[in-house]
A = this chain, B = another copy of it.
Amino acid sequence: MTNTTKNYLIERGIKPSLQRIAIMDYLLKNRTHPSADEIYQALCESIPTLSKTTVYNTLKLFAQQGAALSLEIDEKNIRYDGDTSIHAHFRCKSCGEIIDLPVDQVNMVDPKHLEGFVITEISAFYKGLCDKCNHEGSLMQNKSIN
């Protein structure tokens, strides 16, 4: 599996290292759209020397090389997604969870409005209440994550 991840990086022009493989591996296995800090916390046990700087650098590198998506869906931190296929995201304002949404039509904007433009990224975010939080009603301590 680690070897698969290693090749995954090489294919995307990223020199594999212990840290990079571990971070990519984490992204591919955990589809929770983690922040840099969450990844750091999860990996620093198995890689005690890991530094947050490396996690930040690596995630930025991954995003540049198209090996991961950086999501600006959360005002607080940048979230990362190892799934680079075309899809939208939903963020629950109550529990904070980010859920993937399949996309039927990507081009919402009439191409005539984009003449002369080069589009390199399209992102669509939905926010609101997820099924679970919606039905729990406002019973829970609504931490108003916003």
Contact = CB atoms under 8 A, between A and B. Distances in A.
A99 B120 CA distance: 15
A113 to B, nearest CB: 6
Interface residues of A, number: 39
A122 B124 contact: yes
Interface stretch (A15-23, A40-48, A70-78): A70-78
Interface of A: 70, 72-75, 78, 88, 90, 93, 101-106, 108-110, 113-131, 134-135
Contact of A106 (B108, B113, B120): B108
Contact of A134 (B74, B88, B116): B116
Stoichiometry, as copies per complex, reads 2
Contacts of A119: 90, 126-128
A103 to B, nearest CB: 5
A131 B118 CA distance: 8
Nearest to A121: B127
Contacts of A124: 108-109, 122-125
Given A90-B114, A102-B110, 15 more contacts: A72-B72, A72-B73, A88-B108, A88-B109, A102-B109, A103-B109, A108-B124, A109-B126, A117-B130, A118-B128, A119-B126, A121-B125, A122-B126, A122-B127, A125-B125
